[in-house]
Amino acid sequence: MLLAKIRIAGIGRCRTYGTERGLRPVPVLPDANIETFRNEAFLPALPVLLPRSTFGNLPAVQKWFERDDEKGAPVTLNRSYLSGFGSTIVPLEISSNHQFNRIEQSFSFFLECVQSSQSRHQSRPNRYFSAYVPGARAIKKTATSNDFFSAAAITPPTAKIYLAQAPIYDLPQALRDDLPTPELVLKAGKGDVYDSSIWLGQAPTYTPLHRDPNPNLFVQLAGTKVVRLFKPDAGRAVFAKVQEKIGGSASATLRGEEMMQGAEKQALEQEVWGSSEVSLTSAYETIVERGGGLFIPKGWWHSIKGVGTGMTGSVNWWFR
């Protein structure tokens, strides 16, 4: 890691931040005051980190996750609390062997999948998840069969499950109360929230390069995520380069499942995370940890990786 110091127009009091060699660090605001945020980030449309643990008091940070007393132990979900909301339907992304599928299932299904994959003493595949194959049909459970999904054979689990972009307003009120909208979102701009989502999954997690149509406050509830960002023009150039490389014609505005699988996913990941040319010229990088927040301006391209072990959890608010 290289310690670098950077000054971006509008950020008058930058701090030292560690990043990979050649990548530009995202500056950290000196405080989380609304006027500071508005004048040094929101109005000039510049990415910034909020001071460490600015959002550490969000109820979800304390209530949704458990941390073992053992030093370095991975974060886990607080099942005793979250299982009370098991009937809630949530969107899930399931990837396996370069295949990808989005489904809607109960929150209890997600919790059982996570528990299964975290278990160190499992004698047989989990009846729901280990046998899951994207595209397989659900079959009725019988007295002689505990397999929820049909599959040709039971193999060692390779699928990964990610509760991704679940709207906060679709959650039960108690969970919504755990994620109150920050004052920065309510008071820095026009005061209206375009949308908001939660993201829960076991590291490593990955979100491909994309851009948002509204400013975005991204907050880490648990675990650690690394974010790479590009100015609008630079990100558009990276996207165009990837489309040319794979012979694609995807829209930069309307992104679908093509960015989550196949040639586009691999080419995007290589260009953003594995290309020394990109790393040395146009990419910004930052790390967001538990209780931390990142402001991503409208139109800035970004790709996000959950790193380490154990659970990662994030929430974001898109606002005007």
Question: Has residue 107 been placed in a domain?
Answer: no
pTM reported for the whole predicted model: 0.82
Write a three-state SS string for 98-157.
CEEEEEEEEHHHHHHHHHHHHCCCCCCCCCCCCCCCCCCCECCCECCECCCECCCCCCCC
305 within a domain of the structure (yes/no) = yes
Residue 134 lies in a domain: no
Query: Residues of the chain with pLDDT > 70: what percent?
Result: 74
Report pLDDT digits (tens) over 263-298.
888 888 998 998 666 655 689 999 999 999 999 999
The whole domain housing 231 covers 2-60+163-319
Separation of alpha carbons 239 and 123, rounded Å? 45
- pLDDT value for 136: 43
- Judged against a pLDDT cut of 50, whether residue 10 lies above it is answered with no
- Rounded CA gap, 297 and 268, in Å? 21
The verdict on residue 170 lying in a domain is yes
The pLDDT value recorded for residue 62 is: 95
**What CATH number does the domain containing 49 carry?**
2.60.120.650
Higher pLDDT, 143 or 182: 182
Number of domains comprising the chain: 1
Q: Is residue 50 part of a domain?
A: yes
Residue 299 burial (CB count, 10 A): 16
Q: What is the pLDDT of residue 119?
A: 60
SS3 36: helix
The pLDDT score that the predictor gives to residue 7 is 36
246 is a domain residue: yes
Q: What is the dihedral of CA 129, 130, 136, 140, to 10 degrees?
A: -60
Query: Is residue 69, in this structure, part of any structural domain at all?
Result: no
Question: If you average pLDDT over each of 65-74, 151-160, 222-231, which comes out highest?
Answer: 222-231
Residue type present at position 164: A
In which band, very low, low, confident or very high, does the pLDDT at 189 lie, cut at 50, 70 and 90? confident
| Local structure of 203: helix, strand or coil | coil
